Amino acid sequence: MKKFVYSLVTLILTIIIIELFCASAITFIWRKKHFTYLPTTQNMLSPMQQSRIRQLINGQTKYIDHHGHLGWTVKPGGDNELYRANAYGFRTLNPLKNSGPSATIATYGDSFVHGDEVQNTETWQEQARALNSQLHILNFGVPGYGTDQSYLKYKTTASQWKPDIAVLGFMSDNLKRNVNTFRPFYAPRTQFPMAKPRFELISDGLQLIPNPLPERLDYQQLLDQQQETLLRLSAHDYFYGFTYKPSVLDRSSIIKLLRILHLFYTNPRPAIFKNNTFNPASPAWQVTQKILEAFHQSVRANSSTPVILIFPTYDELNRYQHRPDHPRKHQLLLELCQRNQWHCLDLTDALLSAASGSKLDTLFAPGRHYSPSGNAVVARTFVEFLKKNQLIR
């Protein structure tokens, strides 16, 4: 009997050790390869995400709100203490152009364009305007946006605001967002548990897949029938391919790791990034390239000048600091700009120069968006770029 108990205890302890090892391996794979195990169950959405959805349904959001076409947007008159939007629904407190000979510049993009973690007066747009009073800069940035949503945002606002220059902000994670239709599939812990439109490639062109939850009350169905609705949302989502149907063994880290490894080695789709650079064979890069081309065509058709503004992340700048010979993660984008003779400003060198002497942390806020100092670097570099390329006087 003692021998049996000893063997049983040894077996249990061995299983526990293996479970802990597998749990650590799952975390490591997620951090390095962005592969994970996400069974589509009734409880996929966290309590925080479900609470956010209820606020959305009841119209109780303070700053970000539902948008039938774009997925979500800044709320007209929105105010969350740090950010304030005007009555038109974007973060420029004086949006109407004065009578002076100023150039109107409309900026589109995600949180780096929006200016997350800094006050309105500390965004790079406002600091650029302070450097050159002839600039009239409109901040149409929206937290969490992909390049696809930013392009669609331009399409919905250009006719009203008629910018002389249209700036499209870009950071590497946009590639992931451009093949995503429900944000938690791509970012499980997101504070934006919302659906979005995306583009797919057809015959070397783009086809718009509309927002799958176009009505506010569609989110009630997501709460009431979560598993069925999530399966419907997955139809055009790249990251849903990294999830599985629920299983009674889902609680086991051993089973989770085996499923992740199975997918990792059998998934036929090319990875989005390869050796810390964009993978040219990835559908994420291919659709992003077409969106950028469509943006340029639309802006030029409106007799305006398009500009691409590349925002490197903290991790990218930290890597370049320690490995100066490492190729830029967005090298494919730089080559695309050069090939098409686009106006493209890569902020990497300016930020690295400002961060020399171990000052990188001063350029970033706690959440790894640019700090007021980081936004100041962007503002100075942006104004110099405009002057150098004779886009402004």
Residue range 60-178+274-388 in CATH 3.40.50.1110: yes
- Kindly tell me if the per-residue pLDDT of 335 is higher than 90: yes
Q: What's the pLDDT at 242?
A: 55
Q: In whole numbers, what is the pLDDT of the chain averaged over residues?
A: 90
- Is residue 329 very low, low, confident or very high in pLDDT (cuts 50, 70, 90)? very high
Categorize the per-residue pLDDT at 28 as very low, low, confident or very high, splitting at 50, 70 and 90. confident
pLDDT of residue 38: 62
Task: Specify the pLDDT at position 43.
Answer: 61
Question: What's the whole-model pTM score?
Answer: 0.88
Question: In terms of pLDDT, which residue wins out, 59 or 34?
Answer: 59
Q: Where do we find the tokens 């589509």?
A: 40
* Highest mean predicted confidence (pLDDT) among 43-47, 80-84, 145-149: 145-149
pLDDT in tens, 59-69: 999 999 999 99
Q: What is the pLDDT of residues 253-277, one digit of tens each?
A: 887 788 777 766 766 667 898 888 9
175-200 per-position pLDDT tens digit: 999 999 999 988 888 988 999 999 99
Distance CA 255, CA 281 (A): 31
More confident residue, 43 or 280: 280
* Model pLDDT, residue 240: 79
Cα dihedral 30→143→385→345 (10° resolution): 30
d(CA 151, CA 128): 23
At residue 22 the predicted structure's pLDDT band, cuts being 50, 70 and 90, is confident
Residue 305 has pLDDT above 60, yes or no: yes
The Cα–Cα gap between 35 and 26 comes to 8
Question: Over the range 260-275, which residues count as b (16 or more CB within 10 Å of their CB) and which as e?
Answer: beebeeeeeeeebbee
The SS3 of residue 311 is coil
pLDDT at 211: 98
Beta-carbon contacts of 248 under 8 Å, excluding residues fewer than 6 positions away, are none
pLDDT value of residue 37 = 63
Reported confidence tier of residue 5, pLDDT bands at 50, 70, 90: confident
- What pLDDT is recorded for position 61? 94
Structure confidence by residue, pLDDT tens digits, 274-287: 888 999 999 999 99
Left, alpha or beta for 115 (phi > 0: left; psi -120 to 50: alpha)? left
3-state secondary structure of 178: coil
Q: Look at residue 34 and tell me whether its pLDDT is greater than 70.
A: no
- Residue 145 pLDDT: 98
Mean pLDDT along residues 224-233: 88
Cross-strand pairs, 205:
202
DSSP H helices, the chain, are 2-33, 47-57, 111-114, 124-131, 147-161, 174-177, 183-186, 218-224, 226-233, 253-266, 283-301, 314-322, 331-340, 348-354, 372-388
% residues pLDDT > 70 (the chain): 91
Angle at alpha carbon of residue 159, lines to 304 and 203, rounded to 5° = 75
pLDDT tens for 97-133 read 766 668 999 999 999 999 999 999 999 999 999 999 8
pLDDT (0 to 100) of residue 36: 65
Got the DSSP string for 50-78? HHHHHHHHTT--SSEEEETTTEEEEPTT-
d(CA 116, CA 367) in angstroms, rounded, equals 9
Question: Is the pLDDT at 243 greater than 80, yes or no?
Answer: no
Rounded distance between C-alpha atoms, residue 170 and residue 108, angstroms: 9
d(CA 246, CA 151): 36
